[in-house]
Chain A
Amino acid sequence: MAPFDDIAHIEPAGLDGLILYFSGTCSREVNAKVASCYRALKYAKPQWLKEAIPAYDSLLVLFDLTITDSHGVYAFLRHMPLVLETEKSVKKHRIPVWYGASQANDLAQVCEHTGLTERDIIDLHTATTYRVYAVGFAPGFAYLGDSPEQLSVPRRDTPRTKVPAGAVAIADRQSAVYPSVSPGGWHLLGLSPMAMVDTTKAVAGRLQMGDEVTFFAIDEKQYRSWHEQ
């Protein structure tokens, strides 16, 4: 099974880009195919590769026009060998959350939407093993899926102009930790003291495509003392 066989279709994406689309029976399966193709491409490192941007069900491949054209890229992908996922390549993260922190608390609205109690919400959120489906929107912002169906909430009617760094949020069946202060329309559950991005590093984001993420609850005191440990 070569990564190419998982590609459902390919479309041009600008003068120097091809976007590969994958399909499958569930979002996790589709995203695993994207990750597998992305891994194979990064490993093969063809000279023409400028950048590859993976997302939920697609992989945007940008190439150097002086070296190749879309046919060359296509031919390369066609014969690209599979690179097996190793235990080491799936990183597991445990992220502490001070649920209900006053600067990041939409628990009341989430209760209203879902009919759950605050305790239920926290229990469901901490019981879920999330997968990083994509990194984008802002440096180090990881889209995590899937939240249990009961925890699914729409976006806020009015997005916040300023979501604090570390805010843990949900929208639809996704979750995320805002790596830095930014506008945002997701419902906030609390704050994490863990830094999500270090822009001075070669790999800036803590969370990478395909990583596994679980959350655990801490209280205000633990949040405040996190950096002293």
Chain B
Amino acid sequence: MNNNEITIEHIQMRSLVVDNGRLSGQSEGFSEAGAMDNQAFQLANYLAANPMNTPGLEVLGSITLLFHCDATIAVCGPSCLLTINDTPSDTWCSIDIKCGQKVTISSEKLGHRAYVGIHGNWDIPHIHGSACTVMREQLGGLTGQGNALASQDRIGGQFRLSQQQKKLSEQQRPNYSLVEPFDVVAGYQQRGFSAYALALFYASEYQLSPQCDRMGYRLSGPKISANSKAMRSEGINLGSVQVPGDGQPIIMMRDRQTLGGYPKIGAVASYDIYRLAQAVPGDVISFRPVDMNNARGTWLLKQRIFSHLTKG
């Protein structure tokens, strides 16, 4: 056995290898993919002193890893938990793991995603510039075949201690509250919806249905009717709010297909996607329309705060 690797001892639910995704493949039909909660993922890489697009783990449920080397890791997520040899340890900070230690990552709330950054380089195939797993496309992950992580899998690479200890205060962590409405940039077929339908959409609360996965989040709430004028399939951006015939909106997430033919009200602003990604079935959310230019202002501001934090 290679002594510089990590083996997977135990998995509950589903863990995937993710990164920032394959943006450039969309014109060829590849899903954008990428970490659902990109904030927590990038912060885990920052704390593990990695370049931002280094692969990491997206953990739904729990995963137990056995380290065959010393390595610095970081675990981030809205209710993430970390134990080392069954002893609870800190999250949202750099943690040095010793060779032979058993590390378990999970979340307190079912459905939350926890992210693990590991300092060093992965031996992993890249397809269209990304190692991200898309199970539906049988792409990415440890073998490139799109498999979720399984017990006994080996993560090969050059993992090591980072010599940097970093920690995020409560204030520096992303705000996962669902109280604030989600910003929606109106567009696409917005004009095809009646003023009543749009007012109803923005004034109502929607519950996340059990049909939420990496492709899309299906909501349940007041029925929105679209003018069902036949349309051709077209490019779908991240966060697009599709309204199929049953009037229950679907928000398109990272593993969405590249083209689709349902009318869309607009798209949730990209800076709000991480928050939506960590909402779970049963949670209640609402929306507000934002102007595209104001939304860009908000994005630039958030981006500046983020780069101040991560670039010191």
* Chain A interface (Cβ < 8 Å from any Cβ of B): 11-17, 19, 50-60, 62, 65-66, 69-71, 134-141, 143, 180-182, 199-200, 203-205, 209
Cα A58 to Cα B296 in complex, Å, equals 23
Contact B234 A60 (CB under 8 A): yes
Contact at A51–B29, with CB atoms within 8 Å? no
A55 with B259: in contact, given A12-B186, A19-B234 (CB under 8 Å)? yes
Q: Does B83 contact A (CB under 8 A)?
A: no
* B187 and A53 contact, CB distance less than 8 A: no
In the complex, which residue of chain A has the Cβ closest to the Cβ of B237?
A14
Say whether B29 contacts A135, CB under 8 Å: yes
CB of B28 within 8 A of CB of A135, answer yes
Can you name 26 A-B residue pairings with CB atoms under 8 Å?
A11-B187, A11-B188, A12-B292, A13-B188, A14-B269, A15-B299, A16-B237, A19-B187, A52-B27, A53-B27, A55-B233, A55-B235, A57-B232, A65-B303, A66-B303, A70-B293, A70-B296, A134-B259, A135-B29, A136-B29, A136-B233, A138-B29, A199-B127, A203-B28, A204-B28, A204-B128
Q: Which of B18-26, B170-178, B213-221 interfaces with chain A?
A: B18-26
> In the complex, are the beta carbons of B259 and A136 less than 8 A apart?
yes
CA separation between A40 and B293, bound complex, in Å? 26
List the B side residues contacting A60 at CB < 8 Å.
Answer: 234-237
Q: Quick one: given A15-B185, A19-B188, are A199 and B128 in contact (CB under 8 Å)? A: yes
B→A interface (CB under 8 Å): 23-30, 127-128, 136-139, 185-190, 232-240, 257-259, 266-271, 292-293, 295-296, 299-300, 303
A62 to B24: give the CA distance in the assembly, Å.
10
| Chain A residues in 8 Å Cβ range of B293 | 69-71
Nearest CB in chain A to that of B259: its residue: A136
* Minimum Cβ distance to chain B for residue A134 (Å): 6
Contact B235 A19 (CB under 8 A): yes
Minimal beta-carbon separation of A18 from chain B (angstroms)? 8
Docked-complex contact B267 and A14, CB < 8 angstroms:
yes
